[in-house]
């Protein structure tokens, strides 16, 4: 049995300790993947952009044909209730989620009236900013006409898992994933940035990947600090030629890339500035 970290789960009006079984094998969310979720972080006594994460899970539900049954403020309050059950300052992951219990026509589309909501909050230490290595992936990010890429949907993650497994087999930690026409979209698990000649570049959110909340926050902080940020189409070669590469994501917030293919990289000044600005903003 998996040894889960300390967890509190909210379902149908009450908090349950641990990882209770909530879905049956006939639930639509189990066998036809009508599951959306989001992930906020609390660490060092702060929970940055909690409201934005709670709002996005409702947007994801609508994108997948589910019915959001909680208002953003209600989800925020549930998260705050759960956080209070842990030691002050403990690093936690906050995961609200929706899924369908029943299907509609031919059982395939979800029945929005059967939507269920749950939230789990669990201990998850923040990783040290030691950095990680990346390689290119043979797998691609789909377009909106091919998959619900405008939602943080569980059905998208097997593709990311394939990219991560492929990278691991090559001896790397993560992967640059391209879109259908060959532009870099993101990493398998995070949004990606490069720095070149004192300016920051990041893939334009062209509908093949989520415009991450931490990504948006980093861009705003850079622009407020007077750093030029280009959101544009980027090729693998742009990353191979970069002065520095770093990533943003909810799990680690801001993290350097220390190797791409055969080229070693050092955490650079714009990465360091991004992380410093984010931490300062989060603690304001």
pTM of the model: 0.95
> Please, what is the end-to-end C-alpha distance for the chain in angstroms?
41
Give the tens place of pLDDT for each residue, 22-66: 999 999 999 999 999 999 999 999 999 999 999 999 999 999 999
Please provide the DSSP assignment of 47-87 as one string: -TTHHHHHHHHHHHHHHTT----S-HHHHHHHHHHHHTTS-
Pairing of β 244-249 and β 191-196: antiparallel
**pLDDT one digit per residue (tens) for the chain, 284 residues:** 678 999 999 999 999 999 999 999 999 999 999 999 999 999 999 999 999 999 999 999 999 999 999 999 999 999 999 999 999 999 999 999 999 999 978 789 999 999 999 999 999 999 999 999 999 999 999 999 999 999 999 999 999 999 999 999 999 999 999 999 999 999 999 999 999 999 999 999 999 999 999 999 999 999 999 999 999 999 999 999 999 999 999 999 999 999 999 999 999 999 999 999 999 999 99
Domains in the chain: ranges and CATH: 7-123 (3.30.470.10), 132-282 (3.20.10.10)
């Amino acid at each position: 049995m998996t040894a889960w970290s300390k967890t509190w789960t909210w379902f149908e009006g009450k908090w349950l300790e641990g990882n209770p079984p909530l879905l049956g094998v006939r639930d639509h969310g189990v066998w036809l993947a009508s599951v959306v979720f989001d992930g906020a972080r609390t660490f060092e006594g702060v929970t940055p952009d909690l409201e934005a994460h709670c709002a996005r899970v409702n947007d994801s539900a609508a994108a997948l044909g589910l019915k959001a049954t909680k208002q953003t403020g209600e989800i925020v309050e549930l998260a705050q209730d759960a956080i209070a059950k842990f030691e002050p300052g403990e690093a936690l992951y906050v995961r609200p989620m929706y899924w369908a219990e029943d299907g509609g026509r031919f059982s395939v589309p979800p029945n929005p009236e059967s939507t269920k909501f749950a939230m789990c909050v669990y201990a998850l230490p923040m990783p040290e900013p030691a950095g990680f290595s990346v390689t290119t992936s043979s797998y691609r990010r789909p377009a909106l006409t091919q998959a619900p890429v405008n939602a943080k949907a569980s059905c998208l993650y097997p593709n990311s898992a394939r990219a991560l497994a492929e990278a691991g087999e090559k001896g790397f930690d993560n992967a640059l994933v391209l879109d259908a026409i060959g532009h870099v979209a993101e990493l398998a698990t995070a949004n990606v940035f490069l720095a070149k000649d004192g300016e920051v570049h990041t893939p334009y959110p062209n509908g093949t990947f989520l415009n991450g909340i931490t990504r948006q926050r980093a861009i705003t902080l850079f622009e407020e600090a007077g750093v030029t940020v280009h959101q544009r189409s980027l090729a693998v070669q742009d990353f191979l030629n970069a002065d520095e590469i770093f990533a943003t994501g909810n799990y680690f917030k801001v993290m350097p890339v220390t190797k791409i293919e055969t080229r070693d990289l050092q955490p650079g000044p714009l990465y360091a500035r991004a992380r410093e600005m984010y931490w300062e903003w989060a603690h304001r």
